[in-house]
Structure 1
C-alpha cells in the first residue's frame, strides 16, 4: 500500500465554499505550511494529517478581508482591536492610519505599524495621502505627510495601497499638492498599485478627471445615481453600511456588477464593534436584504483580495493562505472558529488571544494634549457691533448623514457680546491642541445635535484638535477641561458635572484598554449624547466629523468655519444690523 502524502492539518466533514461556483460542497480540507493543500470533495483520505479537526458539517469559508477601514475609528490600539476582529471572522485588514498621521506625521504611521505587529490577524496599511486632509491654511494638525514620506512608506512590505485621496476637488485642478507629486512618481513605475479615493458627490467631468489620475476606488456615501456613474467609469466601489440598501443591490444584480465591488467598514465605533461585529455585520445585512450568502461572502473575501493584489488569499484553493472561518449558521454568519495560516486564532467558548503589549506607543503619545485648563471667558463671543443683532452662520446636523448644511440665524448682542446662551444654538469651538499656534475657531451648531449640556472630544477628524459644543459656557468649560485632564477623550457634561467619559490617552484618539471596556465606556457616552438631545444614527461620528473640511458642506476647524465646496474660510458673522 502506497504511503499517504503528508499534511499538517485536516478539517474533516466541512461544507466548503467554492468561491467560483458560489456553492458549498462537503469535503475534507488539507493544509500544509499554512496554506490550503487540497479540498477533497470525494473524501478519499489520500493524505495523512498530523492534526485533525472535525468540522461537523460546519460551513467553511475564507477569512473576511476588509480593505478600507481605520483602526483609529474603533478608538482602540491595534492589538486589542484585532483580537475582537478575529472573533468576527476577519483575518485581513487594510487600515489607513491617517488619523494617527494627523497627530504624529510619519512617526505616527510607523508607530501604528509597529503596534500592529504580532496582532492575531494580518494587518496591512494604506499610505496616508492627505495629511492634513486639506492644507495648513484651513486646519492645524500635529503632523503632515509629504511626498518623501509617502515614498518611504511605499517601500514597506506591510503597505498595500495609497490611502484615500480626500482633497478630491483640489487634486483635479492645477495644484502643487504632495499627493499629486507622489502619484506622478508612483505611476511612472507602478501601474497596478491600488489608489483609494474619497469623492462624495463628484460627477461628470470632475469624476472623469479624478479617475484619469488613476484613483480608481471609492468608499464614500452615495446615491444610486452616483454609484452608477462610478461603475460606468470603471471605478471599484467599496460599499459600507450607510450605502448598503435594496436599491444599491438591485443596481448591482440587474447589471451583473458583482466583480466590481466589495464590502468595507470604513469606521466602526468600539461599542458597535462589541455589540454588532465588524465586516461580518455587513455580510449579515446584505443577506437580510436578499443577497445570497455565498455571494455576500464572496464580496467580503475574493473581490477585496483581488482589489488589493492580495492574490494569496480570498478563496479556499490549493496554494492560498489557510485563512478561514468555520460557521455554525451561514445566513447569520455565526463564527465557531477563525484560523489564520492554518492556526486557530479564535474558538468560541475558549479564552481570547490577549494583546502582549498594551503600552505599544512611545511616551510622547501619552501626553499629546498641549492645552492648559480653560475658563468660561474663553467662550464669550465678541460681536462686530456693540448693541443690536448679528446674523451668524450655523452648522446644521442632519440625521442619516455626516454631511452638514449651512443655516443663517439672528442673535442679539449686548455690550459687544453675542448672547448665544438660551438662543437654541450651541456654541461650537475648536482649540488647536498641539501647542503650535494656540488658535481657536468659533461656530454654531443646530439641527439633530444635542440641545443641552456640552460634548467635547479630541477625537475630531482628521485634525484631532479639541472640539466642543455646548448650550452654556459653564458646561463647555467643564467638558473641555475634562478632555485636557484625561490627555484625550470623549466627554459629556451638564450643569457643570461630567455625565460620561471615555479616556483616549494614546495620541488623544486611542485607548489601550480591551474592546469590552472601551465599548462599554463609549456606549455610556453615546447614551449621554442621546439624553442631551442628539438625534442621529451615529452621534459619535456625526459630532467627530464637524471638523472634517472635506465632507460637505460647512465645517469648523481651529482656523474658523470652512465652506467645503469652495475650500475657503468663511466669516462667522454674515452681516450686522
Structure 2
C-alpha cells in the first residue's frame, strides 16, 4: 500500500477495504478499553474511526485486542505441519510466532530450514524465523547435518529470518570456541537468543557481552532477576514439560514489563488448545 493511498484512506478520500464497527478496543498503548471502530486496508489498520469502507462488519460490542506473539517455539514439538499448527493456535489468539527450526534442521539440515520458511508463507499466522545455532547440539549426537555459519548465512536473505536462535552452547561462548564465535559474529547486527540455564555471575556477564540478548530457561525468580538486571530479555516459558509462569510472573512490574515476554518453547499437540 503506497503512502499516499494510506493517507487518502485514513482521511476518508478513498474507501477502506474493511470496517469493524461497534467494537470495544483493548488499547494496550493507553491501558484502556475504548468503544470505537477499526478500519483496515490491505492488512493495515489505517484508522480507529468509522470511515467510508467497502465492507462493514458490526461486531455488536465485542472486544478486539492485539494478538498474542509466542517469542520462542519449536513447532516440530507439536508434531504437526506449520499449516496445521496455525489452524490450532490462530483461533485461540496467537497471531505471530518466532520459531527455531532446530529439530528439523538436526534431521534435514538446510533443507529442513527452507521447508519451514516456505511452509510458513501465505498463512493467517505471522511466522518469523531464528536460525538454529547448534546443529548438532552436541558432538556426541548422531545428527543428519552439521551446520556452520557459512551454511546459515544465505538464509538472512529471507524476509522472515530475524536472527540467530538460542545459543545452547554457552560453554563454547565462554571458551571462545571458533565455530561458535563465527556464528555470533555472522549475526552481530541481528537479534541473538540465548539458552543459559543457571548461568550467573561473571559467566553470565561474559555470555551477554557476546551479544546474546534473551533467555527462556529461567526456572526461579532469582535467576530471572539477575538476567533482567544485566539487560537481558527474559521469556517466561509455559510449555508442555517446562512451566515457569507461576515462578516468574511475580517479577513483572510496570517498571520492568518491557523486559519480559512469553513463550511456549515446546508444546505437544494436545496442549495447543
Whether the TM-score (by the shorter chain) exceeds 0.5 is yes
Output aligned runs, 1:38-57, within 5 Å: 38-40=47-49, 45=50, 47-57=51-61
Equivalent runs, 1:70-89 vs 2, <5 Å: 70-89=74-93
Find the counterpart in structure 2 of residue 176 from structure 1: 178
Query: Residue 30 of structure 2 aligns with which residue?
Result: 21
Q: Deviations over 1:461-485 (max 9, x none)?
A: xxxxxxxxxxxxxxxxxxxxxxxxx
Counterpart CA distance in 2 for 1:75 and 1:265 is: 15
Indicate the RMSD between aligned Cα atoms, in angstroms.
Answer: 1.7
Q: CA deviation at 1:54?
A: 0.9
Residue from 100, 104, 120 that aligns with 2:104: 100
TM-score (norm 2): 0.90
Question: Take 2:24 and 2:12, find their aligned partners in 1: how far apart are those partners?
Answer: 27
Residue 109 in 1 paired to residue 113 in 2?
A: yes
Q: Which residue of 2 aligns with 1:152?
A: 154
Stretches of structure 1 that go unaligned for 5 or more consecutive residues are 278-577
Measure, in 1, the Cα distance between the counterparts of 2:87 and 2:175: 43
Q: Alpha-carbon deviations, 1:120-139, whole Å to 9, x = none?
A: 3122211010001122xx21
Q: 2:126 aligned to 99, 103, 122, which one?
A: 122
The answer to whether residue 258 in structure 2 is matched with residue 259 in structure 1 is yes
SS of 1:25's partner is: strand
Output the CA distance in 2 between the equivalents of 1:121 and 1:228: 32
Contact 2:164 2:187 in 1 (8 A): no
1:339-488 to 2 correspondence within 5 Å?
none
Matched residue, 1:8: 17
Aligned residue pairs: how many? Answer: 259
Distance 1:263 1:66 in 2: 6
**Partner SS state of residue 48, structure 1:** coil
Q: Which has the larger radius of gyration?
A: 1
- Structure 1 residue 38 displacement after superposition: 0.8
Which ranges of structure 2 fall in alignment gaps of 5 or more residues?
1-10
Calculate the TM-score normalised by the size of structure 1: 0.43
Cα distance in 1, alignment partners of residues 161 and 32 from structure 2: 33
Q: Deviations over 1:12-67 (max 9, x none)?
A: 01110222211110001111221111112xxxx4x211111111111111122112
Match of 1:237 among 228, 234, 238: 234
Does residue 270 of the first structure (1) align with residue 260 of the second (2)? no
Q: Secondary structure at the match of 2:187?
A: helix
The residue aligned with 1:248 is 248
Provide the residue aligned with 1:360 in structure 2: none
- Determine which of 44, 47, 55 is the counterpart of 1:35: 44
Report 1 or 2 for greater relative contact order, CA contacts < 8 Å, sequence distance ≥ 6: 1
Contact 1:9 1:31 in 2 (8 A): yes
**C-alpha deviation, 1:249, in angstroms:** 2.5
- The Cα offsets for residues 143-200 of structure 1, whole Å up to 9 and x where unpaired, read as 12111112111221121221111011221113122x310222332xx2xx11100000
